[in-house]
């Protein structure tokens, strides 16, 4: 059972829906805790245990998920974006949602809406159910090394979730649910290692390779040592060291030469931008911090930035963009920054 969360989110009823059932109140506490950015890996494990206690627990979490988009930091961001988009001053604004309205809205929301929000949480402010079901997961800015059976090691970058399928890394494979992982399959491995990401897979017997699975369902596979085989549906491509291939719903692309130092920079605690559009810079920054930086100016998003930062200093990127391009950042509750 979750404890009452001490941190407050501006615009939220501080003590939650007091007239809700106990399970509903607990679900509300969980949601506030994850949206605050204060959740830790042990909180994820605790939430999984809590949600598994009964169907009522998971249903309560789903109901709260459906209404959270109108509350707290997400609601603040949307109101600010409306203002920046030129809404008239007399345009009606959403009222603050009180305890009874919150509970009533939660109970009235549709099951289809719940499925969408739990699968793709607004602004990525809390983990999806697939991420919660992962065997290993990292938080924003966290990295983790995992040693698996059969001389296989996996290093997880920020916001990364993997699941080990039945049979292990060789027989069942490693599923990259989201994020980025560096996989090392050594020569002593008993059989090839398979990594599944989206609707493709990577097979390697003796290689070191990096796999990145973005939210847009695009997968980047980079071979750094040895050779891997990349498969998607009926297409397959051998990928030697120093080459990268991208696949998505549009198909499996052709391999291209890459700079290994740029791909592996995250392992040295660095992010490197080389003539990178600001829109892509913002997307990269969002991987390493709690909350969300929201770009409100399309023209700014097309400008290009050259810079390198330590991951622990990732918030300095926004200041750099302000200084270089004359942009302006507005900070909102919940770690949300409007950049335009």
Ordered alpha helix ranges (H), 127-215: 129-132, 168-171
Q: Which two tokens stand for residue 259?
A: 């700079």
Largest CA distance in the chain: 69
How many whole angstroms separate alpha carbon 66 and alpha carbon 114? 5
How many whole angstroms separate alpha carbon 225 and alpha carbon 105? 53
- One pLDDT digit (tens) per residue for the chain, 340 residues: 354 333 333 333 344 444 457 887 788 787 777 655 565 667 767 877 887 788 788 777 766 665 554 444 444 444 444 444 444 434 444 444 343 443 344 434 433 444 444 444 544 544 554 555 678 989 889 999 998 876 889 999 999 999 888 765 555 689 998 999 999 988 665 678 999 999 999 999 899 999 999 866 899 999 999 999 999 999 999 999 999 999 998 899 999 999 999 999 999 999 999 999 999 999 999 999 988 898 889 999 999 999 999 999 999 999 999 999 999 998 876 678 889 8
For residue range 196-216, what is the model confidence (pLDDT) as tens digits? Answer: 999 999 999 899 999 999 866
The DSSP bridge partners found for residue 336 are: 292, 332
Radius of gyration of the chain (CA): 22
Of 117, 125, 132, 140, the residue nearest 50 (C-alpha): 132
Domains and CATH numbers, the chain: 22-132 (no CATH), 136-263 (2.60.120.1440), 269-339 (3.55.50.30)
Of 168, 198, 165, the residue nearest 185 (C-alpha): 168
Yes or no: say if 229 and 238 are a contact pair by the CB < 8 Å rule: yes
CA of 240: how far to CAs of 199, 219, 310, in Å? 21, 17, 30
How many whole angstroms separate alpha carbon 89 and alpha carbon 225? 59
How many whole angstroms separate alpha carbon 318 and alpha carbon 288? 13
- Residue 223 CB-density burial (10 A; 0-12 exposed, 13-18 middle, 19+ buried): buried
How many whole angstroms separate alpha carbon 193 and alpha carbon 202? 8
DSSP E strands, the chain? 136-137, 144-148, 152-156, 161-164, 174-185, 193-197, 200-204, 207-213, 219-232, 235-240, 243-248, 251-252, 256-257, 270-277, 292-295, 304-310, 329-332, 336-339
Of 340, 281, 327, the residue nearest 305 (C-alpha): 281
Of 167, 151, 242, 252, the residue nearest 205 (C-alpha): 151
């Amino acid at each position: 059972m979750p404890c009452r969360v001490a941190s407050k989110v501006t615009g939220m009823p501080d003590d939650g829906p007091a007239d809700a059932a106990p399970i509903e109140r607990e679900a509300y506490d969980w949601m506030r805790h994850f949206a605050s950015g204060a959740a830790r890996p042990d909180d994820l494990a605790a939430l999984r245990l809590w949600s598994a206690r009964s169907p009522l627990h998971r249903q309560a979490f789903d109901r709260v998920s459906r209404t959270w988009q109108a509350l707290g930091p997400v609601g603040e961001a949307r109101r600010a974006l409306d203002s920046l988009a030129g809404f008239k001053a007399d345009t009606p604004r959403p009222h603050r949602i009180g305890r009874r309205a919150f509970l009533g809205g939660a109970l009235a929301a549709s099951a289809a809406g719940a499925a969408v929000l739990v699968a793709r949480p607004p602004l990525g402010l809390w983990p999806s159910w697939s991420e919660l079901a992962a065997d290993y997961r990292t938080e924003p800015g966290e990295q983790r090394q995992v040693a698996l059976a059969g001389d296989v090691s996996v290093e997880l970058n920020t916001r990364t979730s993997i699941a080990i399928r039945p049979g292990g890394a060789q027989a069942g494979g490693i599923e990259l649910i989201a994020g980025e992982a560096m996989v090392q399959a050594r020569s002593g491995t008993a059989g090839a290692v398979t990594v599944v990401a989206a609707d493709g897979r990577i097979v390697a017997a003796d290689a070191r390779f990096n796999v990145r699975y973005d939210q847009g369902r695009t997968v980047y596979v980079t071979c750094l040592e040895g050779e891997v085989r990349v498969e998607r549906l009926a297409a397959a491509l051998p990928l030697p060291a120093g080459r990268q291939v991208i696949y998505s719903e549009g198909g499996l692309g052709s391999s291209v030469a890459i700079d290994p130092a740029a791909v592996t920079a995250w392992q040295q605690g660095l992010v490197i931008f080389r003539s990178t559009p600001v829109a892509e810079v913002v997307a990269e920054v969002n991987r390493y911090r709690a909350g969300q930086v929201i770009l409100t100016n399309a023209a700014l998003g097309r400008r290009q930035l050259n810079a390198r930062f330590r991951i622990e200093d990732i918030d300095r990127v926004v200041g750099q963009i302000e200084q270089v391009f004359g942009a302006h950042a507005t900070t909102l509750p919940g770690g949300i920054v409007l950049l335009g």
